[in-house]
């Protein structure tokens, strides 16, 4: 169940602002909406579930992988507040530019992903990592970017997972079936 704080942040960062004009009128639909380039803006109930699982907090250092339209990055910025640092990363250059234009918080930065690099290892460690695209397995390259007691929410093999680092070891829990666009990358090292 989404927290009141997550629901508030999603209202403040209205979905419509992050959608292309041709689908902007559908912003209240609880469904994924196309944003071009084979990508979607995730359905609000899924975003709310992921944000709640992520356990965001003020002042967090967070990575948003597959940030797409920038909506989830803006919500994370709202939840973390101006003391936080939100690093969004997206592979599609047009979506990077579009999301930079839509995000108004100076503490939220959108980076273009480098082919062959998952996440932003040069800015690690992160307190929280949100992944909004489906991987084939636990993305160990992202686990390596978590700080001590860090937490990642990511889907792989059609299931949403929460990965919590405890004394340097990842503890993985399952949180139901979900569908996402594939995680785009040219190199990916699944966990052993």
Q: Cα-atom radius of gyration of the chain, to the nearest Å?
A: 15
Could you tell me which of 120, 167, 131, 173 has the C-alpha nearest to residue 148? 167
Is residue 42 annotated as a catalytic residue, yes or no?
Answer: yes
SS3 46: helix
| Helix ranges (DSSP H) in the chain | 4-12, 21-24, 44-54, 71-80, 93-102, 140-143
Distance CA 57, CA 59 (A): 6
Distance CA 78, CA 64 (A): 13
Angle of helix 44-54 relative to helix 4-12, nearest 10 degrees, comes to 130
Task: Give the angle 23-177-39 at the CA atoms, nearest 5°.
Answer: 30
Q: Which residues are catalytic?
A: 42
């Amino acid at each position: 169940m989404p927290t009141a704080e997550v629901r508030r942040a999603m209202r403040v960062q209205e979905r419509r602002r992050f959608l292309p004009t041709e689908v902007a009128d559908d912003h209240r639909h609880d469904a994924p909406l196309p944003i071009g380039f084979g990508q979607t803006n995730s359905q609000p109930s899924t975003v709310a579930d992921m944000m709640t699982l992520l356990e965001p907090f003020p002042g967090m250092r967070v990575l948003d992988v597959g940030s797409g339209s920038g909506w989830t990055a803006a919500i994370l910025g709202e939840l973390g507040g101006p003391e936080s640092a939100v690093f969004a990363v997206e592979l599609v250059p047009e979506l990077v530019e579009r999301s930079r234009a839509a995000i108004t918080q100076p503490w939220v930065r959108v980076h273009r992903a480098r082919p062959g690099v998952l996440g932003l290892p040069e800015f690690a460690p992160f307190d929280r990592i949100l992944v909004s695209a489906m991987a084939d397995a636990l993305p160990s390259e992202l686990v390596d970017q978590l700080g001590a007691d860090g937490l990642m929410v990511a889907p792989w093999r059609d299931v949403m997972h929460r990965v919590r680092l405890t004394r340097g070891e990842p503890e993985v829990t399952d949180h139901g079936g979900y569908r996402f666009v594939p995680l785009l990358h040219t190199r990916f090292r699944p966990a052993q």
